[in-house]
Amino acid sequence: MVKLKAFCEMFSEKEIGEILAESGSVDNEIDFEGFLRIYLNLQSRATMKLGGPKNSSSFLKASVTTLLHTISGSEKASYVAHINSYLRDDPFLKQFLPIDPATNALFDLAKGGVLLCKLINVAVPGTIDERAINTKRVLNPWERNENHTLCLNSAKAIGCTVVNIGTQDLVEGRPHLVLGLISQIIKIQLLADLNLRKTPQLVELVEDNNDVEELMGLAPEKVLLKWMNFHLKKAGYKKSVANFSSDLKDGEAYAYLLNVLAPEHCSPATLDAKDPAERANLVLEHAERMDCKRYLTPKDIVEGSTNLNLAFVAQIFHQRNGLSTDNKKISFAEMMTDDEQMSRDERCFRLWINSLDIATYVNNLFEDVRNGWILLEVLDKISPGSVKWKQATKPPIKMPFRKVENCNQVIRIGKQLKFSLVNVAGHDVVQGNKKLILAFLWQLMRFNILQLLKNLRSHSQGKDITDADILNWANKKVKSTGRTSHMESFKDKSLSSGLFFLDLLSAVEPRVVNWNLVTKGESDEEKKLNATYIISVARKLGCSIFLLPEDIIEVNQKMILTLTASIMYWSLQQSVEESESSPSPAATAATPDESPAPSVISEDESTLGGEFSNLTIDDAASDTTVSSQLENEDAPLASDNRTSSQVEDKDNSINRDSPIVSDVVVSSQVEDKDNSINVDTPIISDAVISSQVEDKNNSFTSDTESSPHIENGDTTVKEQTA
CA pair distance 33, 65, nearest whole angstrom: 8
pLDDT of 149 above 90: yes
In single-letter form, the type of residue at position 116 comes to L
Q: What is the pLDDT of residue 346?
A: 87
Average pLDDT value for residue range 582-597: 42
CA 377 to chain centre: 18
Q: What is the pLDDT of residue 288?
A: 82
Q: What is the pLDDT of residue 204?
A: 80
Alpha-helix runs per DSSP H in 88-219 = 105-110, 114-123, 141-157, 167-171, 175-190, 212-216
Q: How many CB atoms lie within 10 A of CB 713?
A: 13
- Please, which contacts does 561-566 make with residues 24 or more away whose CB atoms are closer than 8 Å? 561/446, 561/449, 561/467, 561/470, 561/490, 562/445, 562/446, 562/449, 563/501, 563/534, 563/538, 564/470, 564/471, 564/474, 564/487, 564/490, 564/501, 564/504, 565/449, 565/450, 565/453, 565/470, 566/449, 566/538
CA pair distance 100, 84, nearest whole angstrom: 9
pLDDT of 535 above 90: yes
Query: Which of these, 721, 669, 676, 719, lies nearest to 699 by C-alpha position?
Result: 676
Q: What is the pLDDT of residue 660?
A: 40
CA pair distance 202, 205, nearest whole angstrom: 6
Instruction: Give the Å distances, CA to CA, from 347 to 332, 336, 338, 365.
Output: 22, 16, 11, 8
Q: What is the pLDDT of residue 625?
A: 35
Q: What confidence tens digit (pLDDT) does each residue in 442-500 have? A: 999 999 998 888 887 655 566 778 889 899 999 999 999 888 888 999 998 999 999 99
pLDDT of 639 above 80: no
Q: What is the pLDDT of residue 121?
A: 93
Task: Name the band, by pLDDT with cuts 50, 70 and 90, for residue 506.
Answer: very high
pLDDT of 698 above 60: no
Are the CB atoms for 379 and 400 separated by under 8 Å? no
Are the CB atoms for 426 and 443 separated by under 8 Å? no
Domains assigned to the chain: 4-48 (no CATH), 73-191 (1.10.418.10), 200-334 (1.10.418.10), 340-456 (1.10.418.10), 467-576 (1.10.418.10)
- Output the furthest CA–CA distance in the chain (Å, rounded): 102
Average pLDDT value for residue range 648-675: 41
Average pLDDT value for residue range 35-52: 77
In single-letter form, the type of residue at position 283 comes to V
pLDDT of 592 above 70: no
Which pairing describes strands 715-718 and 653-657: parallel, antiparallel, or unpaired?
unpaired
Q: What is the pLDDT of residue 712?
A: 43
Q: What is the pLDDT of residue 276?
A: 81
What is the SS3 assignment for 667? strand
Q: What confidence tens digit (pLDDT) does each residue in 101-121 have? A: 888 889 889 988 999 999 999
Are the CB atoms for 79 and 183 separated by under 8 Å? yes
CA pair distance 163, 175, nearest whole angstrom: 16
CA pair distance 564, 487, nearest whole angstrom: 11
pLDDT of 598 above 70: no
Are the CB atoms for 133 and 147 separated by under 8 Å? yes
What is the percent of the chain with per-residue pLDDT over 70, rounded to a whole number?
72
What is the SS3 assignment for 515? helix
**Helix (H), strand (E) at residue 649:** strand 648-650
The region of weakest confidence among 197-201, 298-302, 328-332, 468-472 is 328-332
Q: What is the pLDDT of residue 151?
A: 94
CA pair distance 622, 669, nearest whole angstrom: 28
Residues whose CB falls within 8 Å of the CB of residue 138, separated by 6 or more in sequence, listed in order: none
Q: What is the pLDDT of residue 594?
A: 37
CA pair distance 550, 519, nearest whole angstrom: 16
Task: Name the band, by pLDDT with cuts 50, 70 and 90, for residue 210.
Answer: low
Instruction: Give the Å distances, CA to CA, from 567 to 146, 157, 504, 560, 668.
Output: 15, 16, 8, 11, 26
The region of weakest confidence among 284-298, 412-426, 523-537 is 284-298
What is the SS3 assignment for 650? strand
Rounded to 5°, angle at Cα 351 from 348 and 354:
150
Residues whose CB falls within 8 Å of the CB of residue 340, separated by 6 or more in sequence, listed in order: none
Q: What confidence tens digit (pLDDT) does each residue in 72-83 have? A: 788 888 899 889
Return the exposure string of 609-645: e unless at least 16 CB atoms fall within 10 Å of the residue's CB, then b.
bbbbbbeeeeeeeeeebbebebebeeeebebeebbbb
CA pair distance 545, 551, nearest whole angstrom: 12
The region of weakest confidence among 128-132, 307-311, 472-476, 586-590 is 586-590
The region of weakest confidence among 278-292, 448-462, 463-477, 685-699 is 685-699
Q: What is the DSSP string of 233-292?
A: HHHT--S----SSGGGTTSHHHHHHHHHH-GGG--THHHH--SHHHHHHHHHHHHHHTT-
Q: What confidence tens digit (pLDDT) does each residue in 173-192 have? A: 888 889 989 999 999 998 88
Average pLDDT value for residue range 130-152: 89
Average pLDDT value for residue range 655-663: 41
**Burial environment of residue 95 by CB neighbours within 10 A (0 to 12, 13 to 18, 19 or more):** exposed
CA atoms within 13 A on the CB side of 476: 22
CA pair distance 69, 180, nearest whole angstrom: 10
Residues whose CB falls within 8 Å of the CB of residue 348, separated by 6 or more in sequence, listed in order: 546, 547, 548, 559
Q: What confidence tens digit (pLDDT) does each residue in 293-315 have? A: 667 888 888 888 888 888 888 88
Task: Name the band, by pLDDT with cuts 50, 70 and 90, for residue 694.
Answer: very low
The span from the first CA to the last CA of the chain, in angstroms, equals 71
The region of weakest confidence among 422-431, 462-471, 586-595 is 586-595
Q: What is the pLDDT of residue 539?
A: 92
pLDDT of 624 above 60: no
What is the SS3 assignment for 90? coil
pLDDT of 327 above 70: no
Query: Which of these, 532, 479, 531, 535, lies nearest to 504 by C-alpha position?
Result: 479
Instruction: Give the Å distances, CA to CA, from 146 to 111, 143, 152, 519, 537.
Output: 12, 5, 10, 23, 9
**Helix (H), strand (E) at residue 670:** strand 665-671
CA pair distance 368, 397, nearest whole angstrom: 12
The region of weakest confidence among 83-87, 392-396, 499-503, 655-659 is 655-659
pLDDT of 618 above 70: no
Task: Name the band, by pLDDT with cuts 50, 70 and 90, for residue 623.
Answer: very low
Residues whose CB falls within 8 Å of the CB of residue 157, separated by 6 or more in sequence, listed in order: 127, 351, 539, 545, 546
pLDDT of 408 above 60: yes
CA pair distance 628, 303, nearest whole angstrom: 74
Q: What confidence tens digit (pLDDT) does each residue in 376-400 have? A: 999 999 999 899 988 888 888 888 8
Average pLDDT value for residue range 150-173: 87
Alpha-helix runs per DSSP H in 511-626 = 524-541, 549-553, 557-581, 603-616
CA pair distance 75, 70, nearest whole angstrom: 11
Mean pLDDT of the chain: 75
Q: What confidence tens digit (pLDDT) does each residue in 250-277 have? A: 888 888 888 888 877 777 777 777 788 8
CA pair distance 172, 175, nearest whole angstrom: 9
Q: What is the pLDDT of residue 124?
A: 92
pLDDT of 596 above 50: no
